[in-house]
């Protein structure tokens, strides 16, 4: 039986939390699962976390029919900052959520570097070029559950206990935005650049949240070794 299976099964069978403070035994299970998920996340999170270059390299045709650089260009890149220390993973509220169901909350904080590059072109003439470096904490909150059921495989005489581990929903937020360095910005101010970076993060938030959700889900499936864990008289096996 792998360490992951022991943690997940013991978490499911753990006695319910009565009232704060958290029972030390439950807290230990939460901490163990969080440490394992952090290790798995470090292996599946992409580098960079996110990159958008779709607004870079725009051109327009001039009066002579020639394609010339034109318009406002920008590209955005998000990278992990000082990982593994810059990646925080917490498991909280491990408790029964109804018949044959265990729920818990997973909180992931990612310290992130931001690189924003901008250029302004007018009919092939570059009017402006600048770059901005910033940092921000991205926060991902996940509601998770483990569901169990008894199932008798075809041809078997005795039932198996089946566990299924999944994410119910997620929410991404961000805080602590700091503009660290700016090059070639002319009269731009730190406040303006901070607002600009935030507006771009809001613009890419749906696709960034989806990507982070997929990576978190991948880590959780690895923690359980599979989508399903089966326990029967023959021991532990993994489902599809």
For residue 20, the model assigns a pLDDT of: 65
For residue 164, the model assigns a pLDDT of: 72
Q: What is the pLDDT of residues 200-233, one digit of tens each?
A: 988 889 999 888 888 888 887 776 554 554 444 4
Between helices 3-13 and 190-223, what is the axis angle to 10°? 90
In the predicted model, is pLDDT for residue 40 greater than 80?
yes
How confident is residue 3, by pLDDT bands cut at 50, 70 and 90? Answer: very low
CA distance 8 to 36: 11
* Mean pLDDT (the chain, rounded): 79
Comparing 19-23, 68-72, 86-90, 104-108, which segment has the lowest mean pLDDT? 19-23
Report the CATH number that the domain containing residue 220 is assigned in CATH: 3.15.10
The total of structural domains in the chain comes to: 1
Domain extent for 164: 3-238
């Amino acid at each position: 039986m792998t360490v992951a299976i022991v943690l997940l099964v013991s978490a499911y069978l753990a006695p319910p939390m009565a009232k704060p403070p958290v029972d030390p035994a439950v807290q230990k299970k939460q901490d163990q699962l969080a440490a394992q998920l952090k290790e798995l996340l470090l292996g599946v999170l992409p580098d960079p976390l996110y990159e958008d270059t779709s607004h870079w390299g725009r051109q327009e045709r001039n009066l002579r029919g020639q394609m010339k650089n034109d318009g406002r260009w920008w590209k955005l890149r998000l990278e992990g900052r000082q990982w593994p220390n810059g990646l925080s993973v917490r498991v909280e509220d491990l408790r029964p959520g109804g018949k044959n169901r265990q729920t818990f909350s997973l909180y992931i904080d990612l310290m992130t570097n931001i690189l924003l590059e901008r250029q302004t072109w007018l009919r092939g003439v570059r009017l402006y070029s600048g770059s901005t470096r910033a940092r921000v904490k991205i926060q991902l909150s996940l509601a998770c559950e483990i569901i169990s059921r008894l199932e008798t495989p075809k041809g078997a005489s005795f039932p198996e206990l089946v566990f299924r581990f999944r994410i119910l929903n997620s929410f991404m937020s961000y805080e602590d935005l700091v503009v660290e360095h700016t090059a070639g910005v002319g009269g731009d101010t730190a406040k303006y650049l901070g607002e600009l970076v935030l507006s771009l993060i809001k613009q890419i938030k749906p696709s960034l949240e989806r990507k982070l959700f997929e990576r978190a889900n991948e880590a959780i499936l690895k923690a359980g070794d599979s989508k399903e864990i089966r326990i029967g008289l023959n021991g532990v096996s993994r489902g599809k």
